[in-house]
Amino acid sequence: MMQHDHRPTSLHVAVAGQPNTGKSTIFNALTGLRKEVGNWAGKTVEKKTGKAVINGKTFQFVDLPGTYSLLARSEEERIAVRHIMEERTDAIVIVVNAANLGRTLNYCLDILLLGVPCVLAVNMVDVARQHGIHIDAQAIGKTLDIPCLELVASRKQGVEPLRQALARPLRASDRHLLPELVEKLPPELQAHYKRAVAAASAAPQARGNTAWTIWKAMEGDALAQNTIGRLLPGNGGLFPETAASEAQAARFAWIREMLAECVTIEKTCATVTQRCDKLFLHPLWGYVFMAVILLLAVSVGLLAGYPTGIAISVILQQAATFATSSLPANMPMLGAMLQSIFLSASALFCMVPLIAVFYFIFSLLEEIGYMPRAAFLMDSLMTRLGLNGMSFIPLLFSLPCNIPGIIGTRTIANARQRLHTLLLVPLVPCSSKIIVLLTLCTWLFSPLGAIVTACGIMGFSFLLFVAGSLGLKRVFAKEKNSYDMLLELPQFHAPNFQIIGINVVHNVLAFLKKASAIIFGFGVILWFLSYYPAGKINHSYLGMLGTALGPLASAMGLDWKLLTSLMTSALSRETVLPTMALLYNVPVESLKMTLQAQVTTASAISFLLAQFLSMPCLPTLGMILKESGSWTKTCFVAAYTIFLPVIVSIAAYAVLGAMLG
């Protein structure tokens, strides 16, 4: 193996590991605040990179997606494999869970077989000791022929020795692991493997470690199978159907032998996690505790986030009033523009407390280990909709505001499931839409009629949600492994509030960076359309647009004023009623009588449907852009949430018009 004694001053290090190993905690500890969050090129999977200076050397760290193997079946696995194989990687920090060493070392073997310089970070040794598991890290390192360190990353114990290990010259393991694994295969499969290696190595286009590629193909690795298919065309069925399971059995047999020499286990009493799971996973009480925990989380999020957001909105409104009143009377255009800028700033910054609080709540629930348990309880129900249990909490948290729901999709490991849930969140009505619906129902209908109408519209919205989910299920089901959920229930443990805080800060800043362009851009456009050319909204380009869309408004049973109020409410759903009052030229308190006099029953229901199903507010679209990393997906959400309510409204008005005369 090549010795890395003379390394450049800038070193590229990948941090790899399975979920629930503390991989991201170690990445954060190594990089601190010097990190960037984006997406892998052309992918929806989040990419975290960071820098650190150790002993005068600059390190470029990348946090690889957490996967259970490197078989290149899922998008996350393909990203990890391609980064290790194709990108510059001077070293890899392999993070394993000390409390579940057998399974996580299987992932370690995947990377060691690549022949890349590695450092093994055995994390959560404190949890392992609580379970009576005692690990000899030096013995493991000697066996694997790589540096092996014990860590408690949540307390930053062992992080500095890890940094120093990376600063020293590293080399790949000299231990020939692959031949040892081959020797543990059944004799017949060994013969198949050796014949395949000989044939592939003799191919003119053979490149790299052919023996490793054959092994991965035998295990079912898609990328390796494609490579072997090119090397040995027409040689399908190189291995028997049992080859993959027998190769895995060989791996675990080797791991068991190693652990027998390096790990001792004592008998212990039931752990805190085992005692808690008797309640949290109980077929009855588990759902009760889940309802209490999630209701408490939503309540805390709203109580902590909304008042602060309202206070920010009030401050900005007062600042806008002061700024415009300070202008000379002959500068109305500048005053209107300032109002637009302050309105956009209010729409953006009033959401920041809510976003920060829900990022904190989701990070906390995930950090302590509760999130996978809620997913486990809800998985059977969500599977019927083409989702999995991890989608339940983001969808539930979308009810008060869609933004927490969008934030919550990041807890879903599978990229397709994450996208499926992300596309469905806008179909969940937020509290602002519900408030407008209930207000207008009480204004326009009798008490009984208001109840029937509101329940009917919410029920119809739920049916659309189910239909949309089943439709997406058919689309995504064409892709292999789109709906599998491999769920691990991690140990309950105390949260690391420093790591949670760092994640909250970075995610809020990322939201502001991406959403501000949408919100301020739309705000300026809205100001221009509502002010020019006459300085009055009724005679502005926006008013002209509403008038020009008269045929569409008529088909929906609306006048141009109602249609315009729908369009302008994209900045914030709370502006629907004030905008209607402005267009009808009446105070908000008089709007009820105006609508009762001008809106028929069919028109009212048509408008309520359009409002309830309408496009998410711009801060939500900004969050979709931030989480998906794709303008295409964001524009798709905007498009379907524009056309869907229009089509439903037209159909509803036509049917109700025919029924009611």
Q: Give residue-wise pLDDT tens across range 397-443.
A: 787 778 888 877 876 767 788 889 999 999 998 877 887 888 889 88
Q: Out of 17-26, 116-125, 247-256, 264-273, which region has the weakest mean confidence (pLDDT)?
A: 264-273
Asked if residue 653 belongs to a domain, the reply is yes
Q: Are residues 353 and 375 in the same domain?
A: yes
Question: Which pLDDT does position 36 carry in this prediction?
Answer: 56
> Is residue 386 over pLDDT 80?
yes
Tens-place pLDDT, residues 184-222: 999 999 988 888 888 888 887 777 778 888 888 888 877
Q: Are 526 and 568 in contact (CB under 8 A)?
A: yes
Does 537 score more than 70 pLDDT? no
Same domain for 463 and 331: yes
Output the DSSP codes for 513-572: HHHHHHHHHHHHHHHHHHHTTTSSGGGSHHHHHHHHTHHHHHHTT--HHHHHHHHHTTS-
- Top mean pLDDT of 463-472, 481-490, 504-513 is at 463-472
Dihedral angle sign, alpha carbons of residues 629, 633, 639, 645: negative
Helix (H, G, I), strand (E, B) or coil at 127: helix
Distance CA 603, CA 597 (A): 12
Asked whether residue 327 is domain-assigned, the answer is: yes
Please name the helix (run of DSSP H) or strand (run of DSSP E) that holds residue 220, with its range, or none: none
The structure tokens listed for 479 are: 């892709």
| Same domain, yes or no: 577 and 451 | no
In the numeric block, which tokens belong to residue 463? 């049916």
Within a domain: 346: yes
Which pLDDT score is estimated for 331? 72
Token code pair at residue 439: 């207000």
Regarding whether 532 and 461 lie in a shared domain, the answer is no
Mean pLDDT in residue range 60-86: 77
CA distances from 475 to 92, 366, 376, 469 (A): 37, 29, 24, 10
d(Cα 137, Cα 122) in Å, to the nearest integer? Answer: 8
Average pLDDT along the chain: 82
Mean pLDDT computed over 566-592: 74
Query: What tokens does 143 get?
Result: 């066996």
**321 and 235 housed in the same domain:** no
The number of angstroms, rounded, from the C-alpha of 248 to the middle of its chain's C-alpha atoms is 31
Scored b (16 or more CB within 10 A) or e, 188-210 reads ebeebbeebbebbeeeeeeeeeb
Question: Alpha-carbon distance 334 to 341, whole Å?
Answer: 10
| 3-state secondary structure (DSSP) of residue 11 | strand
The predicted model gives 280-297 an average pLDDT of 87
Closest residue by Cα to residue 422 from 626, 264, 648, 187: 626
Residues forming beta bridges with residue 46, ordered by sequence position: 39
Residue 82 in any domain: the answer is yes
Domain shared by 261 and 351, yes or no:
no
The residue segments making up the domain with residue 185 are: 177-265
Q: Is the Cβ–Cβ distance between 34 and 52 less than 8 Å? A: yes
Q: Which of 91-95, 201-205, 370-374, 624-628 has the lowest mean pLDDT?
A: 201-205
12 and 88 Cβ atoms separated by less than 8 Å: yes
Confidence class for position 482, pLDDT limits 50, 70, 90:
very low
On the 0-12 / 13-18 / 19+ scale of CB atoms within 10 A, 446 is: exposed
Q: Indicate whether 492 belongs to any domain.
A: no
Residue corresponding to tokens 């080797």 = 254
Query: pLDDT digits over 31-69, tens only?
Result: 875 555 554 444 445 668 888 998 888 999 999 888 777
Same domain, yes or no, for 328 and 459? yes
Same domain, 65 and 194: no
Instruction: Look up residue 370 and give its DSSP letter.
Output: -
pLDDT band at 484 (very low <50, low <70, confident <90, very high): low
214 lies in the same domain as 77? no
Structure tokens that stand for 179 in this block? 């031949």
Please report the pLDDT score of residue 609 as a whole number. 95
Burial degree of 266 (CB within 10 A; 0-12, 13-18, 19+): exposed
Same domain, 382 and 457: yes
* pLDDT confidence bin for 485, thresholds 50/70/90: low
Same domain, 22 and 154: yes
Q: Where are the beta strands (DSSP E) in 237-384?
A: 263-265
Chain centroid, CA 639 distance in Å: 21
Query: What is the C-alpha separation between 289 and 650, in angstroms, rounded?
Result: 44
Per-residue pLDDT, 536: 67
Among the candidates 455, 481, 507, a domain finishes at 481
Q: Is residue 491 part of a domain?
A: no
Q: Confirm whether 535 is domain-assigned.
A: yes
Give the per-residue pLDDT at 5: 46
Answer whether residue 464 is part of any domain.
Answer: yes
What angle is formed at CA 547 by the lines to CA 543 and CA 552, rounded to 5 degrees? 130
Residue 569 near residue 614, CB atoms below 8 Å: yes
If one counts the domains in the chain, the total is 4
Task: Tell whether 37 and 126 lie within a shared domain.
Answer: yes
- pLDDT reported for residue 603: 92
DSSP state, residue 227: H
Q: How far apart are the first and last CA of the chain?
A: 85
CATH code of the domain in which 24 resides: 3.40.50.300
Q: Is 317 exposed, middle or buried (0-12, 13-18, 19+ CB in 10 A)?
A: middle
Residue-wise pLDDT tens digits, 343-378: 777 767 877 887 788 888 878 888 888 888 888 888
Residue 587 has pLDDT above 50, yes or no: yes
Outline where 32-122 has alpha helix (H): 75-86, 101-112
